[in-house]
Amino acid sequence: MTFPTLADLDFLPYIDSQGAIASDFDQKIGIYAIYDAAKTLCYIGYSRDFKKSLEQHLVRCPEQCQWFKLHPCDRPSRTILEEIRTAWLAENGTTPVGNDTAEDLWTQPIDVKPGLTPEEKAEIEAAEDIKKSKLLKNHARRVEAQIKEVLEARGLKTEIRFQPKIKDQGLLDLK
């Protein structure tokens, strides 16, 4: 089976001129590579829905998500996607940080707790369960607003909606 190398694929802007993310790739399956402003490879992943995955990465790592390359697969299998990923990693020469030490930043919900001040942490720890949930939800909303502000400044016009049910745990993830 032949598939394109990273060098064969064009760089696509993460946020297009209409302020959208991968609008032509909604519910498309395949593999993608994400690059920063200097076009340094930051992460390689595969997905059943390019657009949704690219949105998730953008809210989790907005500074790094500047460019992407992708290869849609008509008949994808995990084996084929893993083969392509392995080949792209080898082609790059080094494992990008998003596939190595910072993988959780790229693949897991945003945890707002590490960014809390010592005072905020102490307030949460001293609170009863219901109050603790409310405090965590408020901190999650604050981080959500900051993320949206950064993305709007970059020209994003697409609405970003976070799951409301996990905010009271101090977590942010897209719907």
Asked whether the predicted pLDDT for residue 27 surpasses 80, the reply is no
Answer yes or no: do 67 and 150 share one domain. no
Which pLDDT score is estimated for 1?
61
**In this structure, are residues 51 and 73 in contact, taking their beta carbons and an 8 Å threshold?**
no
How confident is the model over 51-97, as pLDDT tens digits?
Answer: 899 999 999 999 999 999 999 988 778 899 999 999 999 999 999 99
Has residue 1 been placed in a domain? Answer: no
Q: How many domains does the chain have?
A: 2
Final residue of a structural domain among 77, 92, 107? 107
Look at residues 82, 107, 132 and tell me which one is the last residue of a structural domain: 107
Please tell me the predicted confidence (pLDDT) of residue 175.
85
* pLDDT band at residue 102 under the 50/70/90 scheme: very high
Contact 35, 29 (CB under 8 A): no
Asked whether the beta carbons of 72 and 30 are under 8 A apart, the reply is: yes
Region 41-46: mean pLDDT is: 97
98: domain CATH number is 3.40.1440.10
Query: Are 10 and 66 in a shared domain?
Result: yes
Give the bridge partners for 45, in sequence order: 32
C-alpha distances in Å from residue 55, one per residue of 47, 70, 151, 152, 174: 12, 14, 11, 13, 8
Top pLDDT among 1 and 50 is at 50
Q: Give CA–CA dist 34/28, Å, rounded.
A: 16
Structural domain span for residue 21:
6-107
Cα distances (angstroms) measured from residue 36 to each of 13, 18, 65, 93, 102 = 10, 20, 6, 17, 15
- For the entire predicted model, the pTM comes to 0.90
End-to-end CA distance of the chain: 35
Both 118 and 73 in one domain: the answer is: no
Instruction: Say yes or no: 12 and 98 in one domain.
Output: yes
User: pLDDT grade, residue 23 (50/70/90)?
Assistant: confident
Residues 60/105, Cβ–Cβ less than 8 Å: yes
- 89/63 same-domain check: yes
What CA–CA distance (Å, rounded) separates 83 from 123?
A: 48
Same domain, 29 and 102: yes
Of 137, 138, 174, 169, which is closest to residue 156 (Cα–Cα)? 174
- Same domain for 93 and 23: yes
Q: Model confidence over 107-158: pLDDT tens digits?
A: 999 999 999 999 999 999 898 988 999 999 999 999 999 999 999 999 999 8
pLDDT at 2 exceeding the cut of 90:
no
